[in-house]
Chain A
Amino acid sequence: MENRTKHLFLTGFCLAQVMAFAPQVFAQERDDWPLIEPDVKPVPVNEALIDTENFEIGAFLGVINIEDFESSFVYGGKLTYHLSESFFFEAGIGFAEGGQTSFENLAGNVQVLTDSEREYRYYNINLGYNLLPGQAFLSENYAFNTNFYLIAGAGATEFGGDTRFTVNAGAGYQVLLTDSLAIDLGVRQHFYRIDVVGAEKTSMNTEIRTGLSVFF
């Protein structure tokens, strides 16, 4: 008997609940309609609007030791394309001027090369590899990304009246001041065959340089 009373009471209570809630549920659905229809559609990411910075352009200056022709000031430019985080292509040009050979200095009034033949120009196309990426810390406030890279390639050198096939190899240390601006300290060795002072021999020219470059 007690069970039956409970059953009736509970059933009645449940029914009352359902009836009380039902209109609320419907009412809520109607309330969900926005008063003003929003005019904003979700916009997908457009890859074309994201800036890609795989190219790098730069200028450098330094000192080049032109074998037999003293050391001189060298300056030039480079264009780099980053193939991946490790590999990059670099095209470079450089300008310098050869000095006097020791023979010319000792013998006095002798000229091995004319002034225009002393103009030293080179271009090269290289493949580089970022061997040691890392960070450098300047005081406790600044951290810069850095790269120690190896680079090698071939090109041509115009010197002593002729253009000579030239192989070059070297290494450098690049410090990225920002993600788009970098300074660079590098050493390059240039090799070519030359016969201007006696028998043909391999000329080894060491270049030490520092440069500034921007990514775009």
Chain B
Amino acid sequence: MPIVILLLMLCLPGMTWAGWLWGDDEPEQRVRVVEPFVVWRTGPAVGYPVFHSSEKGEWLTLLQRKTGWMKVRDKKGREGWVAVAAIAQTQDATGENVNLSVPDMKAFSDRKFEAGILMGEFEGSPVTAGYGGYWFTPNLAAELWGSQVLGSASEILMVNANIVHQPFPHWRVSPYFTLGVGHIWVDPKATLAVPEERDNTVGHAGLGLRAYITERYFIRAEFKDYKVFTSRSTNEEATEWKIGLSIFF
């Protein structure tokens, strides 16, 4: 069964080939070189060799983009990769500089969605967590988390929802506070004497830090304090820290 899903997954990008199959009639995106020249590389990285250059006045068709590189074609049909920074200095048919959005600090401050993966420790055991968040205002967001804790005695799964408040949205390194609720499933290891599954509601509060790096990504680190509401006479408490990388849109 998993192999079928994998094969289907592999076919998924085929949808992007549909345009090639049916022939798309989108207008060509063309730019004119205004700097003395731009260099072409065989691949989308500075490590690939330069094999060609276009002079001032030549028209290039923009084909596709990979990270900071643009695949271009000239009027003789040659294809190669030019840095997006160099494309940003060309002009389009209107005679204006090409309008390419380069995600920067301002885009980071104005982000609507973010998602990321963090790793750390939950009560001394390794935790892996993924999340997605939506910003209602520059200060307030809602987030949904899924975490897996793999301890020596048990496996814990957690689903959490929390609100985030960041007092200084325009800072490059921006602190924030969280408050939320969730559910925890504890599955003790099979080798333990009395394995007993249990699940509880949790409440949590935390504080953390986002640090914008470049492009679309930032580092996120946080500390959370969990209160596990058990059916026994006392509630349990757990602390967690984690750090990871996020992207925003």
Q: Which residues of A pack against B, CB within 8 Å?
A: 42-47, 49-54, 57-59, 75-77, 79, 81-86, 89, 93, 95, 125, 127, 130, 132-135, 143, 145, 154-156, 161-165, 176, 179-180, 193, 195, 212, 214-216
Q: Is the interface of A mostly helix, strand, loop or mixed?
A: strand
Given the interface pairs A42-B95, A59-B9, A134-B48, the reply to whether A50 lies near B29 with Cβ below 8 Å is yes
Instruction: Considering the complex, give the chain A residue whose CB is closest to the CB of B130.
Output: A125
Q: Assess whether B142 is interfacial by the CB under 8 Å rule.
A: no
CB distance from A178 to the nearest CB of B (A): 11
- C-alpha gap A216/B10 in the complex (Å): 11
In the assembled complex, which residues on chain B have CB atoms less than 8 Å from the CB atom of A46?
29
- B47:A132 contact, CB within 8 angstroms: yes
Question: Which of B13, B128, B191 is the most central at the interface, judged by chain A CB atoms within 10 Å of its CB?
Answer: B13
Given the interface pairs A50-B65, A156-B148, the reply to whether A85 lies near B29 with Cβ below 8 Å is no
- A44:B65 contact, CB within 8 angstroms: no
- B29:A133 contact, CB within 8 angstroms: no
- C-alpha gap A133/B69 in the complex (Å): 14
Q: Assess whether B199 is interfacial by the CB under 8 Å rule.
A: no
In the assembled complex, which residues on chain B have CB atoms less than 8 Å from the CB atom of A89?
117, 245
**Size band of the B side of the interface?**
35 or more
Given the interface pairs A51-B16, A95-B2, the reply to whether A44 lies near B92 with Cβ below 8 Å is yes
Q: Which residues of B pack against A, CB within 8 Å?
A: 2-3, 5-7, 9-10, 12-13, 16, 26-27, 29-31, 42-49, 62-71, 92-96, 98-101, 117, 119, 125-126, 128, 148, 150, 152, 155, 189-191, 214-217, 245, 247
Name B42's contact: one of A42, A44, A79, A145 (CB within 8 Å). A145
Instruction: Considering the complex, give the chain A residue whose CB is closest to the CB of B150.
Output: A165
- B94:A85 contact, CB within 8 angstroms: no
- B62:A42 contact, CB within 8 angstroms: no
- C-alpha gap A54/B249 in the complex (Å): 14
